[in-house]
Every structure is written in C-alpha cells, then in structure tokens.
Structure 1
C-alpha cells in the first residue's frame, strides 16, 4: 500500500551545520505513516482520541542530498506486513526533491498500540502480499568490551512527548544526537580544536534498535564509542540505558570532512590521538 504527499522545509529545521536536520526527515516520514493509517480506515480523529501510536522497533535511515529552507520535497510511503510477522508493520519511505533525486531513505518496523496496548493494524489491500524488498535494518551486536567508552547523563524532557504521551523516533534520535555532542566534548574536541585539526564529520545515516519505552523525564545513561574507522568514514555506537536496563542502541555513519576544503578526507594522525582509544575494531 502506498501514499505520497508534499512537505516543505523551514528555517527552523536547520541544524548547527546549516543543513536541514535529520529529525526533520523522520518527522516528515512519521506524517506519512499516520496518513497511511487514515487510508486503512483509521482517521486522524480516531488516532488522536484513542491514542493510537506506531511504536518503533527497528529502523534505518540514510541521507543523500543536503537540503535548505524552502525545499519542496515529496514523501513516498510504502507499507507491507513486517517479514518478522507478529502483526508488525514494515515501512519503506523515500523523500525526493523536485527533480526526483533521492534526498533521504528511511525504513522502520513498528507495532501499533492503542493507549499502550497492542492494537491490530491489518494491511489488507491488493498489494498487501507485495514483498517488502531489501530490509536495511538489522539487530546490532552488543559491545565487545575491547575499547574505552564515554558515559554521559542526559535528562530527556517531558515536553518532547507526543499526543499519546510517548517519545516518537525523532525525539529518541535527539538522545543520540546529544550523545555525540557530549562525546566530542568529553574527549576534548572543542570547536577551536576542530578548526585547528581542519576536521569535522557529517552524519550520513543510522541503523537502530529500540527495546523498551523510555520513561518520561528521567535521567538516562548514554554510552558512546566508535565501532570502527573505514577510510573516510567512522561509525559511532551508542547505548541508552535507564537503571541499568538497555532501552535503545544505534550505529551511525559519519563522513570525515576537511573544513577548509569542504570535501571528504581520511582521519589524520592528530584526529586519531583523540578518538583512537575509543575505537572498538581496528
């Protein structure tokens, strides 16, 4: 089953690197998923009144083309039953610019809940038997214990919850974004040092697994390390815990970029002095 609609980016969507932030694309995708529920006979009014929510289990995102304010984007959503079964949904969503070029590609597996109770969303359409295509998310491996990690504390705001009192995927991505900032601060990569090293990195995409609901307003433990370095890329890993229980985990891809040349480069020896002991696999 398919849906498409048009979304427009705003100045408010820009991040510190003056590009549209990744969370904007996930918010566009979330709108597409709720539009699909409406097509399945669950209108917005019912979704709101009965607190019907789509709880993310696993996900993938990849960003292909930077965007700026005022960009008109087409959000294409395809829904199929999850290959995992168990009544879950598999979402494949592409965001394209006006020339048809791919801007972002997102996938999620979700389960529907009504006021916190599992709720059946039956995908019965003429194309419901259509194969889901390549599944781009996976179950991430636990930390091997081979390297050092940075442990930070993050109090998630009560106000980041949605209409159903839950943290949607975009709100949970924010935890990982904060974790990356706390990591670079704690290892000494200040803005001045980044300029001196002529090295920064761009967030290119992620795979993530969500295991349990994040409790509202609590202080979370964010554990951050680098899984590996592959030429001009490195891969962050982060675990989010509360009272020792693993709630979320993510692996994200970072493109290493020269500030002065504005193009990709390998990690320099000086850069490695800061991150080397946090790298899990050589």
Structure 2
C-alpha cells in the first residue's frame, strides 16, 4: 500500500484479495474497514505516532461510533484508493471521514465514518497531530452517527451466543472494529437461520437481501473470552429496504455493549434488481418486526 498526505487529507492505495470474497461473491464489508483502519494508522505515523510510540505509550484508538454505506461491489485485484479527512469532535475524539474509491474512475465504492477516542493507560487523552488542522466536522456527518433507538419490546428477537476470540486481538491487545462488525454478521446469519431463510427458501421466494449501510454504537468493548449474546430483530420494512437491528450484550446481562442498525436492500435473485418485499418474506419476519 502507498500513501500521500496533504493538510488534513490523506490518500492510501489498496487492493482487495480473493480471500476477501464472501458468500455473495463480492468483497466483504470488513475489508473496507480494514483498508480505512490502515489509512488511520498511516496518518498517525506521519504525525509522529508511529507503531513503536503507540506501543511504548500504550495509546489506543477506541471506536465509539461508526457509519458505513456501500455503493459499488468490488472484486479481487480492483485498484482502490482510500481518501481520508479527519476532524476533532472532542479534545480526545476524532471523526475519520473516509471514502474508498476506484482508482481509475474515481467512482465511490464505500463511505465510512468512524469516531475514535484516544486512550492511554486507561485515560482519555488528546492526540497532537503535528502539521494538521482537524477543524470541525459537517453536521450531516454527525447526524449519520446518531445512536440507534432502544428496543421497544413489541416483537420477538432471535438471540444467538457468541464469544470474543483471543486471536482477533491486534498488536495493541485490543479489538479492531472489524472484530465487532463480525458480531453483526453472525447475528444476521443466525437470524436468517432461525426463521428458516435458507438457500432453498431464497430460491423459492426469489428474494435475497444485501447489506448496504449500518450505524454502530460502541458502549463497551467486550473483553477477550467474554461470552456474549447477539439479539436480532427487524425494525421495519419500507418497500425495497429492510432495516435490521442488533444489540450485543453479555451472556447473562441486559447491558448493551454494541448497538447496530443495518439497512438492507431487498433484491430479486433472478433479476439481480431491487424489488418490493414479497408477502412470503414479510410473513417470515412478521413475528420479529417492530413496525408492521
């Protein structure tokens, strides 16, 4: 990967691999976050926060809020660029606004907002970004990071067990955002399995959903080996869009560690085009939907 830097903007070149493909045959969402995280640490390194310094001073970037939206599917070998700008939302917090674009066409593939809190030895600290003037973020970007509403209790939820893997930790012995995003993916798959939305049913209804956007609110980062529960339900269906909700809690507690609101596009499998949710699909999720 190669980088260039100017003012509070930064460009990093990246390319997905065959190993980044998911079951729907395109690059998984976590790959884009990995690219953006690479760019965030490159910016830190150019402002004297090298990996060695981060380790020595026990500095961590702790994710607090994220928003992501996907625009164009990508395949292995695609030449991409991560365009990053960043702003200070609080003395100890930075909002990273990042766009993954196709290098040749400049077409937007993904837009990712991540608010991180800088912590060292258990305390929040401000980052001193040499030569950069972070400025203030746009209000519309802050609106995208609004926390998902609490579960209203008006429908059933699918609960699935999970555990934070020791092997997912980084060089800093913390968890990258992708380890937390993965919990959402597991909940999504567990939900489909629980309601009987398997490959056979997808073919019968000619209906599949594609993950197109999400908001994440990180309240407490789980510890290694911590046993969790992922609670999933449908907030609402609006024509061709399905809004899914997930809360991650400790196994035996109602404390919400991570709250997720996903936007999914409902697509005809045969036509590969968006379609209105068919009655069969609505019937399958009706018991788990807050807004009928």
Shorter-chain TM-score range: over 0.9
Kindly indicate whether residue 110 of structure 2 is the aligned counterpart of residue 100 of structure 1. no
* Aligned residues of 2:219 and 2:257 also touching (Cα < 8 A): yes
Q: Secondary structure at the match of 2:179?
A: helix
Structure 1 residues 272 and 62: CA distance shift in structure 2, 3 A: same
Per-residue deviation, residues 197-235 of structure 1 (Å, max 9, x unmatched): 111110001011000021112221100000110100101
Tell me the TM-score normalised to structure 1 length: 0.95
TM-score of the superposed pair, with normalisation by structure 2: 0.92
1:30: which partner in 2? 37
- 1:268 corresponds in structure 2 to 278
Residues 92, 124 of structure 2: 8 Å contact kept = no
RMSD: 1.5
Contact 1:90 1:132 in 2 (8 A): no
* Corresponding residue of 1:218: 226
Q: Which runs of 5+ in 2 are unaligned?
A: 1-7
Deviation at 1:87?
2.0
Q: Which runs of 5+ in 1 are unaligned?
A: none
User: Whole-Å Cα distance in 2 between the matches of residues 46 and 89 of structure 1?
Assistant: 19
Take 2:231 and 2:32, find their aligned partners in 1: how far apart are those partners?
A: 25
User: Are 1:54 and 1:111, in contact at CA under 8 Å, matched by a contact in 2?
Assistant: yes
1:3 lines up with 2:13 in the alignment: no
Counterpart for residue 155 of structure 1: 163
Kept in 2: contact 1:240–1:248 (CA 8 A):
yes
2:120 matches 1:110: no
Equivalent of 1:180 in 163, 183, 188:
188
- Counting only pairs closer than 5 Å after superposition, residues 70-81 of structure 1 correspond to structure 2 as 70-81=77-88
How many angstroms apart in 1 are the aligned matches of 2:43 and 2:249?
A: 32
1:61 aligns with 2:68: yes
Q: Secondary structure at the match of 1:223?
A: strand
1:164 pairs with 2:172 = yes
Q: In 2, distance between residues paired with 1:122 and 1:144?
A: 42
Distance 1:45 1:126, change over 3 A: closer
Q: CA deviation at 1:127?
A: 3.5
Q: Residue 132 of structure 1: CA displacement?
A: 3.9
Q: Match for residue 5 of structure 2?
A: none
Tell me by how many angstroms 1:115 deviates: 4.7
Aligned counterpart, 1:249: 259
Aligned residues: 280
43-52 vs 237-246, which moves further: 43-52
